[in-house]
Amino acid sequence: MEPIYVTRSYLPKRSDFDRYLDRIWDSHWLTNQGQLHQEFAATLADLLGNCGVTLMTNGHLALEHALMALGISGEVITTPFTFASTTHSITLQHIKPVFCDISEKDLTMDADAIEPLITERTTAIMPVHVYGHVCDTDRISSIARKHSLKVIYDAAHAFGVKKDGQSVAQFGDMSMFSFHATKLFHSIEGGLLAYKDEKLKKTLDALKNFGIEDEETINLVGRNAKMNEFQAAMGLCNLSDLYEIIRERREIVMRYRENLAGVNGIRYFEPEANPDIEYNYAYMPILVDEAVFGRSRNQVYDNMKSRGIHTRKYFYPLITDFGCYREEYGDVSLPVARRSAQQVLCLPIYNGLGMETVDLICNLLKN
């Protein structure tokens, strides 16, 4: 059997992509806010509704630009149960990350644990809609309002997720979406900032292009984080397939749930059980409770791997246990995050994964 990986990048119809390539060859315009970049940004602005949008070359730089544009400094309250990028963006901006535990319910930041972490140096909260699970946005925004904090959502996993019929981009001061090739919707590499205050657009556009405002004006010290035309072409192609992509992933997730329902010691999530939520089926995380299931998450991972099924311990280790953070943060008390990192396993999910393969993976898991 061919090995099965946890994900496989989506590719649009080759002929659709070729039509965009023809336009690039006609225009000789490869980057710097080209036609396709503008079209992609306009389509995304329509889709997300009611917010400013700025495209970047990747999600990580978008996060750093969010912190820069909002002038964040001092301390930022964030989650340890995420991809390295979230914390690195804070650290690289010379800000101190302050780790908040996560909620048992959906593994997003535990809103009840935020307030005790606020100090006079706190300027922002950076929660993550992990796996596309929507954070407790109401509580987070009321805490932020009470303490005059900014909120930047790492929404890397949450493209296509809606609450009350609107995109998750409506929450907080800014949201970052990642369009990396491994995400459910991608532009090869790519990132997007969505924000309430449309005045930020000018700052972000300058910051991502060396601070250049016009040919003779540079007032900000900026980097290069521009998205190019090939990325925008891939994004435009994939965007027209978005609802089909989500529909197919939903079927895969449903098949997993049918197979795993009632298996003692295996827990999965059903975000759309909340009628306000439209989920994107981005990931298939499960929690393996060794005491009940009889085998540990690591044993399940190893067994599957020996059969050519590559699951992923996403997220393990916790950020606070990484070599670069351990010394300073290794002792922070984060009981739920720590237990979840020991139990979590992401099962393969990608467009094109057959139902018989899902059944096979579940049978291996159960036996």
Ligand X SMILES: *Cc1c(COP(=O)(O)O)cnc(C)c1O
Binding site for ligand X (CB under 6 A): 58-60, 82-83, 85-86, 128, 154, 156-157, 178, 180, 191
Name the residue nearer to ligand X (CB basis): 83 or 293.
Answer: 83
Name the residue nearer to ligand X (CB basis): 245 or 362.
Answer: 245
Crossing angle for the helix pair 200-207 and 59-69, to the nearest 10 degrees:
130
Cα–Cα dist 161/157, whole Å: 9
Give the residue among 139, 88, 81 at the shortest CA–CA distance from 115: 139
Name the residue nearer to ligand X (CB basis): 154 or 173.
Answer: 154
Cβ 267 to ligand X shortest distance, Å: 21
Cβ 189 to ligand X shortest distance, Å: 6
Check: CB of residue 120 under 8 Å from CB of residue 93. Answer: no
Cβ 294 to ligand X shortest distance, Å: 31
User: Using omega within 30 degrees of 0 as the cis cutoff, is the peptide bond preceding 317 cis?
Assistant: yes
C-alpha distances in Å from residue 352, one per residue of 10, 308, 309, 338:
9, 17, 15, 33
| Backbone phi, psi, residue 126, to 5° | -125, 90
Check: CB of residue 299 under 8 Å from CB of residue 365. Answer: no
Name the residue nearer to ligand X (CB basis): 85 or 103.
Answer: 85
Cα–Cα dist 282/249, whole Å: 7
Name the residue nearer to ligand X (CB basis): 60 or 208.
Answer: 60
Cβ 197 to ligand X shortest distance, Å: 22
Give the residue among 46, 116, 107, 44 at the shortest CA–CA distance from 77: 116
Check: CB of residue 107 under 8 Å from CB of residue 130. Answer: yes
Which residues 6+ apart lie within 8 Å of 171 measured at CB? 135, 137, 140, 141, 151, 153, 163
Cβ 266 to ligand X shortest distance, Å: 23
Closest chain position to ligand X (CB): 59
Name the residue nearer to ligand X (CB basis): 80 or 191.
Answer: 191
Cβ 192 to ligand X shortest distance, Å: 10
Cβ 10 to ligand X shortest distance, Å: 15
Cβ 153 to ligand X shortest distance, Å: 10
Check: CB of residue 242 under 8 Å from CB of residue 236. Answer: no
Name the residue nearer to ligand X (CB basis): 7 or 351.
Answer: 7
Name the residue nearer to ligand X (CB basis): 160 or 259.
Answer: 160
